Structure 1
Amino acid sequence: MPNTVMVMCGKKMRRNSRARCGSSLIEFVLRSMFWVTLLIGTLVIGGNLIKSIQVVQLCRDVGHMWAYGMDFSQTSNQNLIAKLAQGLN
């Protein structure tokens, strides 16, 4: 008699695990959508932050050049700044 109870429980448990497996897949997909969105947002914000830091550093460098008396009306000095700012468009 105990064997039949265990067999019945085994079948019952197998049915439940299949149902759980399906719901686990649904939960995984829903959670993955959230985490992938969060990851992509983090990458985009990080890229923008890096670009912002580069622009601030360029402005700081140009300010130091101006403070030390560099004349930005000359073409060679303007070209120097354009060369420093290359890739920040």
Structure 2
Amino acid sequence: MALKITDDCINCDVCEPACPNTAIFQGPDIYEIDPARCTECVGHFDEPQCRVVCPVDCIPLDLLHVESREQLLDKYRRLTASADTPAR
């Protein structure tokens, strides 16, 4: 499943650059995570990097976007497929 950022976010700016899928962006008030791009770092790392760097532990699982590890891996493959295709 994807992750989400709660209202406890202090806008410290460390999660956005840590995300290998560019799923994290600055929302109107706090950072947000695009569930269509979040793979919980499956395919990149053993654990979600945003959670590793977050100083306030405000990034829980998003129960509205439940996905299995295999679904997250499939999403990772789709997201990275275009990066693997050489430009013409």
TM category, shorter: under 0.3
TM-score by length of 2: 0.21
User: Relative contact order (alpha carbons < 8 A, sep ≥ 6): 1 or 2 greater?
Assistant: 2
Task: Return the structure number with greater strand share.
Answer: 2
- Computing the radius of gyration from Cα coordinates, the structure with the larger value is 1
Task: Return the structure number with greater helix share.
Answer: 1
